[in-house]
Amino acid sequence: MKLAELKQRSEVEIVNIVDPRVRALSFRFGISAGSRVLCWPSIAQGPFILEKNFQRLALSYSLAQEIEVRVIKEE
């Protein structure tokens, strides 16, 4: 499942980050394959918010389409 496909707040595990540019960006924030993060999906293709270790990272809809996730828990 792509991160952009989430419809509600969820805890997810990052499975793969396809784009190397996005992979480098997320790695700077400690997010890589295998990481567990909280995600707040966007409204109408707006930004997605990822939270890990009390840090929040906003990703555009196009970047969210490059990240494959596995849902751990939906809230």
Task: Output 26 or 1, whichever has higher pLDDT.
Answer: 1
Record the tokens describing residue 68, joined without a space. 């494959």
CA angle 16, 20, 24 (to 5 degrees): 90
Report the domain count for the chain. 1
Residue 40 dihedral angles phi and psi, to the nearest 5°: -105, 115
Instruction: Tell me how far the alpha carbon of residue 56 is from its chain's centroid.
Output: 11
Record the tokens describing residue 72, joined without a space. 């751990």
| Domain encompassing residue 29 | 3-74
CATH of the domain at 60: 2.30.30.90
User: Over the stretch 33-66, which tens digit does the pLDDT of each residue have?
Assistant: 999 999 988 777 788 899 998 888 888 888 889 8
